């Protein structure tokens, strides 16, 4: 945590659910979502505990103000747009690199150079990252 960040007032993540209770990472009960002998109500209590845990863990790092303002979805959309642009740029650069490699290979003929080996290694590294 950086110096200017404050510690959240809520119990730190990750949380987990067991039956109808919500626990912190050292298995202390954070919340009890109720319990009933009634089968349907019992399932609802367990589902509520699971939902609380899923939401809290998903929102790790977000402030209550961000959640209440509803800005996270907008920020995520902007990040996805930026990532799409970066991915397209990467693909263009990879294509240009392959083309340049072919041109250099043609100039060198059968001679091999460490430069071409480095180009091959870079191309493989980028293509491996694309596959993941």
Q: Which residues of the chain have pLDDT under 70?
A: 1-8, 36, 38-41, 132
29 plus 49 within the same structural domain: yes
Residues 32 and 82 grouped into a single domain = no
Question: Is residue 49 included in any domain, yes or no?
Answer: yes
pLDDT given at position 1: 44
pLDDT digits (tens, 9 = 90+) for 45-56: 889 999 999 999
Is 117 among the domain residues?
yes
Domain count across the chain: 2
Looking at the structure, do residues 82 and 112 belong to the same domain, yes or no?
A: yes
Same domain for 88 and 50? no
Give the Cα separation of 49 and 74 in Å (integer).
27
In a domain, 67, yes or no: no
Domain C-terminal end among 61, 93, 115 = 61
87 plus 47 within the same structural domain: no
Please report how the helices 114-131 and 71-108 are oriented relative to each other, as an axis angle in degrees rounded to 10.
Answer: 150
Task: List the beta bridge partners of residue 31.
Answer: 22
Which residue segment(s) compose the domain that 30 sits in?
16-61
Residue 95 and residue 76 in one domain = yes
Q: 44 lies in a domain?
A: yes
| pTM (predicted TM-score) | 0.50
Residues 87, 41 within the same domain: no
Residues 84 and 40 in one domain: no
Question: Count of CB atoms within 10 A of residue 22's CB?
Answer: 21
Same domain, 57 and 83: no
């Amino acid at each position: 945590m950086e110096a200017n960040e404050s510690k959240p007032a809520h119990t730190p993540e990750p949380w987990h659910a067991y039956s109808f209770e919500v626990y912190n990472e050292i298995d202390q009960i954070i919340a009890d979502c109720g319990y009933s002998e009634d089968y349907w109500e019992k399932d609802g209590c367990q589902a509520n505990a699971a939902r609380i845990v899923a939401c809290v863990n998903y929102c790790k790092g977000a402030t209550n103000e961000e959640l209440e303002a509803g800005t996270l979805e907008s920020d995520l959309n902007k990040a996805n747009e930026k990532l799409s642009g970066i991915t397209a740029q990467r693909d263009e650069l990879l294509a240009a690199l392959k083309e340049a490699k072919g041109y250099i290979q043609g100039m060198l003929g059968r001679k091999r150079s460490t430069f071409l080996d480095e180009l091959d290694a870079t191309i493989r590294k980028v293509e491996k990252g694309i596959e993941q």
